[in-house]
Amino acid sequence: MELIDTHSHIYYDKYTDINEVLDRARDNNISKIICVGVDIESSYKSITLAEKYDMIYATAGFHPHESKDAKKNYIKELENLLSHEKVVALGEIGLDFFYKHSDKETQINIFEEQLLLAKSLDIPCIIHNRESDKELINSINKTKNNNGVIHCFASNLDLAKQLIKLGFHLSFTGLITFAKELKHVIKNIPIEKIMIETDSPYLTPIPHRGKRNEPYMVKYIAMKIAKIKNIPFEEVATQTTKTAKEFFDI
Protein backbone atom coordinates (compact mmCIF):
# COMPACT_ATOMS: atom_id res chain seq x y z
CA MET A 1 0.00 0.00 0.00
CA GLU A 2 1.23 3.40 -0.98
CA LEU A 3 -0.06 6.99 -0.79
CA ILE A 4 1.26 10.25 -2.25
CA ASP A 5 0.70 13.71 -0.76
CA THR A 6 0.54 15.71 -4.00
CA HIS A 7 0.51 19.17 -2.40
CA SER A 8 2.21 20.47 0.73
CA HIS A 9 4.12 23.55 1.88
CA ILE A 10 6.52 21.94 4.33
CA TYR A 11 9.28 24.50 3.85
CA TYR A 12 7.72 26.78 6.51
CA ASP A 13 9.39 27.38 9.89
CA LYS A 14 6.58 25.35 11.42
CA TYR A 15 8.43 22.20 10.26
CA THR A 16 11.61 22.39 12.30
CA ASP A 17 10.88 18.73 13.09
CA ILE A 18 11.00 17.77 9.39
CA ASN A 19 12.79 14.46 10.06
CA GLU A 20 10.01 13.30 12.37
CA VAL A 21 7.40 14.59 9.92
CA LEU A 22 8.93 12.40 7.20
CA ASP A 23 9.24 9.41 9.56
CA ARG A 24 5.55 9.67 10.41
CA ALA A 25 4.78 9.89 6.69
CA ARG A 26 6.79 6.70 5.96
CA ASP A 27 5.14 4.91 8.92
CA ASN A 28 1.79 5.68 7.30
CA ASN A 29 2.78 4.41 3.82
CA ILE A 30 3.30 7.83 2.27
CA SER A 31 5.92 7.14 -0.40
CA LYS A 32 6.27 10.60 -1.95
CA ILE A 33 5.50 14.21 -1.04
CA ILE A 34 5.26 17.13 -3.42
CA CYS A 35 6.41 20.40 -1.92
CA VAL A 36 4.79 23.35 -3.70
CA GLY A 37 6.34 26.80 -4.14
CA VAL A 38 4.23 29.98 -4.15
CA ASP A 39 6.89 32.44 -5.32
CA ILE A 40 10.59 32.36 -6.28
CA GLU A 41 11.88 32.15 -2.70
CA SER A 42 9.58 29.32 -1.61
CA SER A 43 10.25 27.47 -4.88
CA TYR A 44 13.97 27.56 -4.01
CA LYS A 45 13.17 26.28 -0.51
CA SER A 46 11.12 23.42 -1.99
CA ILE A 47 13.99 22.47 -4.26
CA THR A 48 16.44 22.52 -1.33
CA LEU A 49 14.18 20.04 0.51
CA ALA A 50 13.86 17.88 -2.61
CA GLU A 51 17.63 17.77 -2.95
CA LYS A 52 18.03 16.71 0.66
CA TYR A 53 15.27 14.10 0.88
CA ASP A 54 14.59 11.35 -1.67
CA MET A 55 10.85 11.19 -1.06
CA ILE A 56 10.30 14.93 -1.62
CA TYR A 57 9.71 16.50 -5.05
CA ALA A 58 9.37 20.22 -5.73
CA THR A 59 7.41 22.65 -7.89
CA ALA A 60 8.06 26.26 -8.88
CA GLY A 61 5.52 28.98 -9.61
CA PHE A 62 3.77 32.18 -8.60
CA HIS A 63 0.62 31.86 -6.48
CA PRO A 64 -2.18 34.37 -7.25
CA HIS A 65 -1.71 35.94 -3.78
CA GLU A 66 1.93 36.70 -4.57
CA SER A 67 1.48 37.60 -8.25
CA LYS A 68 1.70 41.35 -7.48
CA ASP A 69 5.35 40.75 -6.44
CA ALA A 70 6.41 39.00 -9.65
CA LYS A 71 9.44 40.80 -11.07
CA LYS A 72 9.95 41.56 -14.72
CA ASN A 73 12.26 38.60 -15.29
CA TYR A 74 10.24 36.09 -13.24
CA ILE A 75 9.47 33.89 -16.25
CA LYS A 76 13.20 33.44 -16.92
CA GLU A 77 13.79 32.63 -13.24
CA LEU A 78 10.95 30.10 -13.25
CA GLU A 79 12.22 28.52 -16.43
CA ASN A 80 15.56 28.05 -14.76
CA LEU A 81 14.00 26.46 -11.65
CA LEU A 82 11.77 24.21 -13.76
CA SER A 83 14.81 22.66 -15.42
CA HIS A 84 15.86 21.10 -12.08
CA GLU A 85 15.52 17.29 -12.17
CA LYS A 86 13.33 17.13 -9.06
CA VAL A 87 10.91 19.89 -10.11
CA VAL A 88 7.83 18.07 -11.36
CA ALA A 89 5.26 20.82 -12.06
CA LEU A 90 4.67 24.52 -12.50
CA GLY A 91 2.71 25.78 -9.51
CA GLU A 92 1.06 26.84 -7.59
CA ILE A 93 -0.55 29.21 -10.05
CA GLY A 94 -4.13 30.37 -10.48
CA LEU A 95 -6.76 32.86 -9.44
CA ASP A 96 -8.22 33.91 -6.09
CA PHE A 97 -10.95 36.52 -6.11
CA PHE A 98 -11.95 35.75 -2.53
CA TYR A 99 -8.87 37.20 -0.80
CA LYS A 100 -7.74 39.42 -3.69
CA HIS A 101 -4.21 39.88 -2.26
CA SER A 102 -3.29 40.89 -5.82
CA ASP A 103 -5.66 42.73 -8.15
CA LYS A 104 -7.72 40.77 -10.66
CA GLU A 105 -5.95 41.96 -13.78
CA THR A 106 -2.47 41.17 -12.39
CA GLN A 107 -3.64 37.73 -11.29
CA ILE A 108 -5.03 36.92 -14.72
CA ASN A 109 -1.89 38.16 -16.53
CA ILE A 110 0.54 36.24 -14.34
CA PHE A 111 -1.66 33.14 -14.48
CA GLU A 112 -1.86 33.16 -18.27
CA GLU A 113 1.86 33.85 -18.72
CA GLN A 114 2.62 30.81 -16.56
CA LEU A 115 0.05 28.63 -18.36
CA LEU A 116 1.82 29.47 -21.60
CA LEU A 117 5.24 28.78 -20.07
CA ALA A 118 4.09 25.36 -18.83
CA LYS A 119 2.68 24.58 -22.25
CA SER A 120 5.91 25.51 -24.02
CA LEU A 121 7.93 23.34 -21.60
CA ASP A 122 5.37 20.51 -21.63
CA ILE A 123 5.20 20.41 -17.84
CA PRO A 124 1.97 19.95 -15.81
CA CYS A 125 0.41 22.77 -13.75
CA ILE A 126 -0.97 22.91 -10.21
CA ILE A 127 -3.86 25.35 -10.20
CA HIS A 128 -5.51 27.26 -7.36
CA ASN A 129 -9.05 28.53 -7.95
CA ARG A 130 -11.20 30.43 -5.48
CA GLU A 131 -14.31 32.34 -6.51
CA SER A 132 -12.94 32.62 -10.02
CA ASP A 133 -14.63 29.74 -11.90
CA LYS A 134 -15.57 31.82 -14.96
CA GLU A 135 -12.17 33.48 -15.35
CA LEU A 136 -10.41 30.14 -14.82
CA ILE A 137 -12.20 28.59 -17.79
CA ASN A 138 -11.51 31.75 -19.82
CA SER A 139 -7.75 31.59 -19.19
CA ILE A 140 -7.65 27.86 -19.92
CA ASN A 141 -9.45 28.36 -23.22
CA LYS A 142 -7.34 31.36 -24.13
CA THR A 143 -3.99 29.62 -23.52
CA LYS A 144 -5.22 26.18 -24.65
CA ASN A 145 -3.36 24.55 -21.77
CA ASN A 146 -5.26 21.63 -20.26
CA ASN A 147 -2.36 19.79 -18.62
CA GLY A 148 -3.12 20.43 -14.98
CA VAL A 149 -4.67 19.57 -11.65
CA ILE A 150 -7.12 21.82 -9.83
CA HIS A 151 -5.77 21.65 -6.30
CA CYS A 152 -8.07 21.80 -3.26
CA PHE A 153 -11.11 21.54 -5.49
CA ALA A 154 -13.98 23.34 -3.75
CA SER A 155 -16.47 24.26 -6.48
CA ASN A 156 -19.61 22.55 -7.74
CA LEU A 157 -20.18 19.39 -9.79
CA ASP A 158 -20.85 21.37 -12.97
CA LEU A 159 -17.38 22.92 -12.91
CA ALA A 160 -15.83 19.57 -11.92
CA LYS A 161 -17.39 17.89 -14.96
CA GLN A 162 -16.42 20.75 -17.25
CA LEU A 163 -12.78 20.59 -16.11
CA ILE A 164 -12.59 16.80 -16.41
CA LYS A 165 -13.98 17.04 -19.93
CA LEU A 166 -11.21 19.51 -20.77
CA GLY A 167 -8.63 16.98 -19.51
CA PHE A 168 -7.92 18.22 -15.98
CA HIS A 169 -7.53 16.23 -12.77
CA LEU A 170 -9.05 17.33 -9.46
CA SER A 171 -7.28 17.14 -6.14
CA PHE A 172 -8.94 17.08 -2.72
CA THR A 173 -7.75 18.22 0.71
CA GLY A 174 -8.90 17.81 4.31
CA LEU A 175 -11.71 20.18 3.40
CA ILE A 176 -13.72 17.12 2.30
CA THR A 177 -13.68 15.78 5.86
CA PHE A 178 -15.76 18.74 7.03
CA ALA A 179 -17.28 20.52 3.98
CA LYS A 180 -20.34 18.41 3.24
CA GLU A 181 -21.13 19.94 -0.16
CA LEU A 182 -18.05 18.28 -1.72
CA LYS A 183 -19.50 14.82 -1.08
CA HIS A 184 -21.78 15.23 -4.09
CA VAL A 185 -18.82 16.15 -6.34
CA ILE A 186 -16.68 13.19 -5.23
CA LYS A 187 -19.55 10.74 -5.58
CA ASN A 188 -20.14 11.77 -9.19
CA ILE A 189 -16.66 11.95 -10.72
CA PRO A 190 -14.42 8.99 -11.72
CA ILE A 191 -11.79 7.87 -9.20
CA GLU A 192 -9.22 7.91 -12.05
CA LYS A 193 -9.46 11.72 -12.15
CA ILE A 194 -8.83 12.22 -8.43
CA MET A 195 -5.60 13.02 -6.57
CA ILE A 196 -5.18 13.59 -2.84
CA GLU A 197 -3.20 16.21 -0.91
CA THR A 198 -2.88 17.76 2.53
CA ASP A 199 -2.02 21.38 1.58
CA SER A 200 0.02 21.30 4.83
CA PRO A 201 0.17 23.30 7.06
CA TYR A 202 -3.37 24.40 6.15
CA LEU A 203 -6.72 22.56 6.11
CA THR A 204 -6.02 19.91 8.75
CA PRO A 205 -8.52 17.05 8.31
CA ILE A 206 -10.88 15.64 10.92
CA PRO A 207 -9.93 14.09 13.43
CA HIS A 208 -7.04 16.54 13.94
CA ARG A 209 -8.71 19.92 13.38
CA GLY A 210 -6.86 22.66 15.29
CA LYS A 211 -3.47 20.94 14.97
CA ARG A 212 -0.77 21.59 12.38
CA ASN A 213 -1.37 19.58 9.21
CA GLU A 214 1.38 17.32 7.84
CA PRO A 215 1.76 14.82 4.97
CA TYR A 216 0.86 11.59 6.83
CA MET A 217 -2.65 12.99 7.32
CA VAL A 218 -3.34 12.50 3.61
CA LYS A 219 -4.58 9.05 4.66
CA TYR A 220 -7.68 10.66 6.20
CA ILE A 221 -8.55 12.16 2.82
CA ALA A 222 -8.20 8.77 1.12
CA MET A 223 -10.38 7.23 3.87
CA LYS A 224 -13.05 9.87 3.35
CA ILE A 225 -13.10 9.30 -0.43
CA ALA A 226 -13.40 5.54 0.15
CA LYS A 227 -16.36 6.16 2.45
CA ILE A 228 -18.10 8.58 0.06
CA LYS A 229 -17.61 6.32 -2.97
CA ASN A 230 -18.26 3.17 -0.97
CA ILE A 231 -15.10 1.44 -2.23
CA PRO A 232 -12.18 -0.10 -0.28
CA PHE A 233 -9.51 2.26 1.11
CA GLU A 234 -6.86 0.19 -0.75
CA GLU A 235 -8.54 0.94 -4.06
CA VAL A 236 -8.41 4.69 -3.39
CA ALA A 237 -4.75 4.38 -2.40
CA THR A 238 -3.81 2.33 -5.47
CA GLN A 239 -5.70 4.47 -7.96
CA THR A 240 -4.74 7.93 -6.63
CA THR A 241 -1.09 6.86 -6.36
CA LYS A 242 -1.12 5.57 -9.95
CA THR A 243 -2.70 8.81 -11.17
CA ALA A 244 -0.19 10.98 -9.29
CA LYS A 245 2.80 8.97 -10.56
CA GLU A 246 1.63 9.30 -14.15
CA PHE A 247 0.66 12.96 -13.83
CA PHE A 248 3.93 14.11 -12.24
CA ASP A 249 6.06 11.45 -13.95
CA ILE A 250 7.58 10.33 -10.63
Q: Give the residues lining the site for Zn ion (CB under 5 A).
A: 199
- Give the C-alpha separation, 59 to 126, whole Å: 9
Q: How many angstroms from the chain centroid is the CA of residue 194?
A: 12
* Nearer of residues 37 and 229 to Zn ion, judged by Cβ: 37
Q: Shortest approach of Zn ion to residue 92 CB, angstroms?
A: 5
Q: Shortest approach of Zn ion to residue 64 CB, angstroms?
A: 11
Q: Shortest approach of Zn ion to residue 121 CB, angstroms?
A: 21
Which residue's CB comes closest to Zn ion? 199
Q: Which of 149, 151, 193, 148 is nearest to 175 (CA)?
A: 151
Torsion of CA 190, 191, 195, 196, to 10 degrees: 130
- Map residue 129 onto helix, strand or coil: strand
Q: Which of 122, 60, 49 is nearest to 90 (CA)?
A: 60
Q: Shortest approach of Zn ion to residue 36 CB, angstroms?
A: 5
Largest CA distance in the chain: 50
Q: Are 135 and 114 in contact (CB under 8 A)?
A: no
* Nearer of residues 199 and 214 to Zn ion, judged by Cβ: 199
Residues paired with residue 34 on neighbouring β-strands, in sequence order? 57
* Nearer of residues 9 and 219 to Zn ion, judged by Cβ: 9
* Nearer of residues 59 and 229 to Zn ion, judged by Cβ: 59
- Give the C-alpha separation, 67 to 62, whole Å: 6
* Nearer of residues 5 and 199 to Zn ion, judged by Cβ: 199
Cβ neighbours around 176 below 10 Å, total: 26
* Nearer of residues 39 and 199 to Zn ion, judged by Cβ: 199
Q: Shortest approach of Zn ion to residue 79 CB, angstroms?
A: 22
Q: Shortest approach of Zn ion to residue 239 CB, angstroms?
A: 23
